[in-house]
Amino acid sequence: MSDKVSLAAKTSQAPAEAKPRKSWLARELRHFRNNRELFLLSLPGILYKLIFAYIPMIGIIIAFKNYRYDLGIFGSKWVGLDNFRYLFSTDTAWRITRNTVLYNAAYILITLVAALLLAVLLNEVKAKWSRFYQTALFLPHFLSWVLVGYIAYAFLNHADGFVNRTLMAMGFDPVSWYQNAGAWPFILVTVHLWKVIGFNTLIYFAGIMGINSEYYEAARIDGATKRQMALKITVPLLSPLIVILLILSIGSMFRGDFGLHYFIPNNSGFLYGSTDIIDTYVYRALREVGNVGMSAATGLYQSVVGLILVLSANAIVKKINPDHSLW
């Protein structure tokens, strides 16, 4: 091993530089040897990601090509940024970007607060009941958006939806929900919360389970109230988890939930102003063209913006509390 290192040092241009470089390499190797067991633990995961994620990333270049099936990924012609053009050439670009970001921001915040609150409260309930509630809240996770779309339609359709029948029974006029854009931000946020609340509550609840009970014992002896314990012990100890989940969701800020925004509003044109997001727009635009290059371009655009957002978020977190940053 060390032979190779010195060989590498000899071949480098300036002999004067060789010495510090050698020691740097040697130091790095020593570090690596010290850490090799940990490295080996992570090796299967790293290899997996290499094969199933990094190697296929070659395909990212499709975004810059006029992809022809017979020419393949490498043989197809380069077209520069042509595939990105359709995303930015109209006013709609602003609308879908705004919607995507605002909806995701709302989803992130509301889910965070609600799930945290429920998780803390669940902790106060007898174990038997807590399990029951967890199961119940988790149920919507099973249903695909298509099916949720059918259910939502049963509630909202004009003729005999439950909502309109209730409204009429109470003496109000029925509402054409699928043509009334104003109501949709609320409907979408509600449906989203309904679908994911169980999942997120479960994660935070598991986090609370992992907190050393000695902390609570000590607080109880000091005469702390439940609320004080929640705010002073539970939330701070959960904060690494909270921050991680926050950064993760910020990374997907630019990726909308296609199923939610397509099936729940029934793809109604009247609602696009308030339901249309990048993903549904792209689906509509490319459904007939079926252009691999253009869809790759969209994905890349979303990824790059996501990366920028995450890097910024992580940098901010690092400033505030370096222990909580992702890297």
Partner 1 sequence: MGKRMVKLLALAGLAVALLSGCGSGSGGSTAAGEADENGLKPVTLTWYYPLSQLQADQNKVEDAVNAITRKKINATVKLMPVPVGDYVQKMNTVLASGEKFDILWTGYMLKPEELVRKGAIRPMTELLDEYAPELKKDVPQTMWDGLTVDGDIYAIPNQQINGGRYGYIIKKELADKYKLDAASLKEVEDIEPFLAQIKENEPDIIPFGNFGGNFDFNAQMYGKGFWSVPGLDGHFYIKKDDPTYQLHRYPEEELDIYRLANKWYDAGYIYKDAATAKNTDFMAKGKIGTEFNLVMKPGIEAEVKAKNGGNDVVIAPLSGWYSNGYSATTNQSLSRTSENPERAMMLLNLVNTDKELYNLLCNGIEGEHYKKLEGEYIEALPDSRYRPNADWVFGSVFNSYLKEGQPEDVWEETKKINESADLNPVGAFKFNSEPVSTEIANLNAVWDEYKRGIITGTLNFDETWPGLHTKLKEAGEDRYAEEVTKQFEQFLRESGLKK
Partner 2 sequence: MARQKIELSKVAINLLFTLLSLAVVLPFVLVISVSLTDEKSLTEFGYRFIPETFSLEAYRYMLDSPEVLLRAYGVTLTITVVGAALGLLLTAMTAYVISRTDYRYNRITTFYVFFTMLFSGGLVPTYILITQYLHLKDSLLALILPILLSPFNIMVMKGFMSKIPLEIIESAKIDGAREFRIFFRIVLPLSLPALATLGLLISFTYWNEWFNAMLYIDDPNKVPLQLLLVRTLNSIEFLTSNSEFTQQLGIDLSAFPNNSARMAIAVLAGGPMLVIFPFFQRFFVKGLTVGSLKG
237 lies in the site for partner 2, by CB under 8 A? yes
Query: Is there binding between residue 220 and partner 1 (CB under 8 A)?
Result: no
The phi-psi region of residue 227 (left if phi > 0; otherwise alpha if psi is between -120 and 50; otherwise beta) is alpha
**Residue 154 binds partner 1, judged by CB under 8 A:** no
Per CB under 8 A, 60 contacts partner 1: no
Which of 270, 299, 300, 318 is the binder for partner 1 (CB under 8 A)?
A: 270
Q: How far is the CB of 101 from partner 2 (least distance, A)?
A: 16
Nearer to partner 2, 206 or 231 (CB): 206
Taking CB under 8 A as the binding criterion, the range among 10-18, 38-46, 76-84, 103-111 that sits at the site for partner 2 is: 38-46
Residue closer to partner 1 by CB (options 124, 173) is 173
Among 159, 170, 221, 320, binds partner 2 (CB under 8 A): 159
Radius of gyration of the chain, Cα coordinates, nearest whole angstrom: 26
Residue 78's binding partner, choosing from partner 2, partner 1, none, with beta-carbon cut-off 5 to 8 A by kind?
none
- Least distance from C-beta 215 to partner 1, angstroms? 35
Which alpha helices (DSSP H) does the chain contain, by range?
Answer: 2-11, 15-49, 72-75, 85-88, 92-122, 127-138, 145-156, 162-169, 184-209, 213-221, 226-229, 235-251, 258-263, 272-275, 278-286, 292-320
141 within 8 A of 199, measured Cβ to Cβ: yes
Site string for partner 1, 283-302 (x = CB under 8 A): -xxxxxxxxx-x--------
Establish if 40 lies at the interface with partner 1 (CB under 8 A). yes
| Total residues interacting with partner 1, rule: CB under 8 A | 45
Using CA atoms, how far apart are residues 212 and 237, in angstroms rounded to an integer?
A: 10
Beta carbon of residue 322, minimum distance to partner 1 (angstroms, whole number): 31
List of residues 6+ apart from 235 with CB closer than 8 A = 116, 242
Among 52, 74, 142, 327, binds partner 1 (CB under 8 A): 52
Residue 141's alpha-carbon distances to 78, 102, 105, 208, in angstroms, are: 42, 23, 21, 22
The pairs formed by 235-243 with CB atoms below 8 angstroms and a separation of 24 or more are: 235/116, 237/207, 237/211, 238/116, 238/204, 238/207, 238/208, 238/211, 239/324, 240/323, 240/324, 241/203, 241/204, 241/207, 242/112, 242/116, 242/204, 243/317, 243/324, 243/325
CB of 36 to partner 1, least distance (A): 8
Shortest CB 37 distance to partner 1, Å? 8
Query: Rounded distance, CA 52 to CA 73, Å?
Result: 17
| Minimum gap (Å) between residue 38 Cβ and partner 2 | 5
- Type of residue numbered 44: P
Residue with tokens 């969209």: 298
- Residue 177: phi and psi, rounded to 5, are -60, -40
**Residues in contact with 195: Cβ distance below 8 Å, sequence separation at least 6, in sequence order:** 140, 141, 143, 148, 260
Binding mask 181-210 for partner 2 (x = CB under 8 A): -------------x--xxx--xx-xxx-xx
* 62 scored as a contact of partner 2 (CB under 8 A): yes
Contact string (CB under 8 A) for partner 2, positions 136-155, x = contact: xxxxxxxxx-xxx-xx--x-
Q: Does 66 bind partner 2 (CB under 8 A)?
A: no
Q: Which of 29, 58, 141, 269 binds partner 1 (CB under 8 A)?
A: 269
Kindly list the residues in this chain that would bind partner 1 in the complex (CB under 8 A): 37, 40-41, 43-44, 47-48, 51-52, 66-72, 82, 85-86, 89-92, 157-159, 176, 178-179, 266, 268-270, 272, 281, 284-292, 294
